[in-house]
Amino acid sequence: MTNYSHLVNLKDRTVSPEVFTNPDIYLIEQEKIFRRCWIFVGHESQVREPGAFLTTTIGEEPVIVVKDHDGKVKVFFNSCRHRGVKVCRIDHGKAKVFQCPYHGWSYGIDGSLVGVPQQKTAYHGDLDKTQWGLIKVPRVESFHGLIFACLDDKAVSLEEYLGDIAWYLELILRRSKGGTKLLQGCHRWRVKGNWKLAAEQFAGDNYHADVLHKSLSLIGLAPSEFRGGIPWETDFQVKSSNGHGWINFKSPDGPLPPAVEEWIRHSREESKERLTATQAGLVHTTHVGGVFPNFAILSFMGFTFVRVWHPRGLNDLDVHSWALADEDAPDEVVAFLSTMLILNFSSSGIFEQDDVTVWGDMMSTLQGTVRRRFPLNYQMGAGHERRLSDRPGLIHPPSTEIGIFGFHEFWRSLMSR
Ligand code: FES
Ligand SMILES: [Fe+2]
C-alpha cells in the first residue's frame, strides 16, 4: 500500500518525485482521480445542433460527446458493446448514427443500439437490442459553456466541485453578454512529461515566468515585466478549494490593434452588468487557471485558450488546446486572437517551447535512483496567505506556491481514499 501522506508531506510542504515517476501511482490515478473528478470534455459551442459530436478522453478512456434530440449533451464511452472497438474514429462532426467499423453495429445519438447486421438470420431475433446501447457517462454538467463529465454518479455537483475557482472563471466566461465559443480547430500535440507537471504549473507556478520565458522579453516579443499591477488587488494568486488554482496579474498594456483595444474597453464596461465590482475590475487582466485535475485556461494580452492535459502513460501527455473567443466579438478581433494564440501557445508557440523543455528534463532527472529519494520544495509563501472579503479562496500576491501545493494536497486526499 503506497503511503501518500509521506509522498505529499503537509508539514514540510514537500512532494516526492515518486508522485511524478512511479508507474504504479499512474495506474491508481486512473481509478482514484479520473474516475472521481469532473473532467472537461468540450464546449457547448462545439455541439450546438442535435447530432453534433466530438470525441475526447476521460483520463485514458475514449468518449463521445454528442447533442441529443432532446437538446441535452450526452457523453458515452466510445466503445462498441459487441467487442469494444471505437465506434467513432474522427474528432468531431455531425452524425445520425455511429456505426462500428468492425461488424457494423450502429448506435443512435441517444446511445441506443439501433442496427445489427444479420439480426434475423444470425441472431434469430434473440438479441435484445435495448440491453446493448453505448455505456453512458452518468454525470454531465456545464458551467457557462464549459462541459464537464464525471464517471462517479455520486459526485457533488459541478458547481460545488469548482468551488472558489468558479468566481474566477466567470472573469472570462461571463465578461461578454453573449458568452464564449471555441474557435474551430483543436491544436493537438504530444509532449514528454507526467500530466501533473503541466497541471500543477497552471494551478499556480507564476514564479517561472520571469526566468524561463525571459528570452521573449529580451527579443522584444513580450513585456519586460509581466506583472505591473497592484499586489493583493490585481496581482495575486489563489488557492481554491478542491485543488484548483488561479494566477492573476495586470501586464503593462501592450500595443494591440485598435479594434482589439476597443473590444477590451467595451467588454470591461459591459461586464459590470453581470459581475461584481471586484470582478469587473479584473476583466481583461492576465489570468491563468487550473481546474483539478487536467483543465487549464489562460487569458493574456486579450487572447484566451482552454486546454486539457490528457494523460497517455506515465511519461507522455497529449495537449488539446483551443482558442476561446467572446461569442459577439467582431471578426477582426477573433482573427487577431487566433493568430496570437498560434504564435505564443501552440505546438510551435514561443512560450510553449520553454515549458515543454523543462517538463521533459524533470522526468529524466527525477527518475534517477538517488535523486528520486530527495523531495521537491513547495514552501514559497506558506503562512502568508489571507482571506479577502471581496473574493473567494486563499490569496497571496505573486509569487507563491500555495495554489500549486494545494493541487498536491487535493491529489493526496483523493489518492488516500
Ligand atoms: S466490435 Fe463493434 S460490431 Fe463488432
Ligand atoms: Fe510557462
Q: What is the CA(360)–ligand 2 centre distance, in A?
A: 14
User: Which residue pairs from 109-115 have beta carbons closer than 8 angstroms and sit at least 24 positions apart in sequence?
Assistant: 109/50, 109/51, 109/53, 109/66, 109/67, 109/68, 109/69, 109/74, 110/68, 110/69, 110/70, 110/74, 111/74, 111/76, 111/136, 113/81
Neighbour-count burial of 118, counting CB atoms closer than 10 A to its CB (0-12 exposed, 13-18 middle, 19+ buried): exposed
Domains plus CATH for the chain?
39-142 (2.102.10.10), 163-416 (3.90.380.10)
**Predicted pLDDT of residue 340:** 86
Query: Is ligand 1 within 6 A of the CB of residue 116?
Result: no
Query: Is ligand 1 within 6 A of the CB of residue 117?
Result: no
Ligand 1 pocket mutation, candidates 89, 98, 100, 113, criterion most atoms within 8 A of CB: 100
User: pLDDT for 118-141, tens place per residue?
Assistant: 999 999 989 999 999 999 999 999
Residues 156-180 as b/e (b if ≥16 CB within 10 A, e otherwise) read: eebeebbbbbbbbbbbbbbbbeebb
**Predicted pLDDT of residue 108:** 98
Bridge partners of residue 97, in order along the sequence: 108
User: pLDDT for 182-204, tens place per residue?
Assistant: 998 899 999 999 999 999 999 99
> What average pLDDT does the structure give for the chain?
94
Of all residues in the chain, the percent with pLDDT exceeding 90 is: 86
**Predicted pLDDT of residue 179:** 95
Q: Residue 88 CA: which ligand is closest?
A: 1
Of all residues in the chain, the percent with pLDDT exceeding 70 is: 99
How far, CA to CA in Å, does 252 sit from each of 257, 326, 387, 412? Answer: 15, 22, 27, 38
Nearest to 391 by CA among 287, 258, 300, 252: 287
Say whether pLDDT at 110 is over 60: yes
User: pLDDT for 284-311, tens place per residue?
Assistant: 999 999 999 999 999 987 789 999 999 9
In this structure, of 12-21, 84-93, 158-167, 350-359, the range with the lowest mean pLDDT score is 350-359
**Predicted pLDDT of residue 283:** 96
Query: Is ligand 1 within 6 A of the CB of residue 102?
Result: yes
Average pLDDT over residues 40-44: 98
Q: What is the CA(168)–ligand 2 centre distance, in A?
A: 20
Report whether the peptide linkage leading into residue 375 is cis, meaning its omega lies within 30 degrees of zero.
no
**Predicted pLDDT of residue 308:** 98
**Predicted pLDDT of residue 1:** 53
Q: What is the pTM of this model?
A: 0.96
**Predicted pLDDT of residue 220:** 76
Please compute Rg for the chain using Cα positions. Answer: 22
**Predicted pLDDT of residue 416:** 94
**Predicted pLDDT of residue 219:** 81
Q: Which helix (H) or strand (E) holds 238?
A: strand 236-239
Say whether pLDDT at 28 is over 80: yes
**Predicted pLDDT of residue 195:** 98
Q: Which helix (H) or strand (E) holds 28?
A: helix 23-32
**Predicted pLDDT of residue 253:** 67
Average pLDDT over residues 112-122: 97
Ligand 1 atom closest to 84 (CA): 1
- Among protein residues, the one whose CA lies closest to atom 1 of ligand 1: 83
User: pLDDT for 141-178, tens place per residue?
Assistant: 999 999 999 999 999 999 999 999 999 999 999 999 99
Say whether pLDDT at 255 is over 80: no
Say whether pLDDT at 52 is over 70: yes
Query: Is ligand 1 within 6 A of the CB of residue 85?
Result: yes
- Among protein residues, the one whose CA lies closest to atom 3 of ligand 1: 103
Say whether pLDDT at 80 is over 90: yes
In this structure, of 8-12, 212-216, 270-274, the range with the lowest mean pLDDT score is 212-216
- Among protein residues, the one whose CA lies closest to atom 4 of ligand 1: 103
Bridge partners of residue 146, in order along the sequence: 43, 143
Query: Is ligand 1 within 6 A of the CB of residue 69?
Result: no
Say whether pLDDT at 320 is over 70: yes
Say whether pLDDT at 269 is over 80: yes
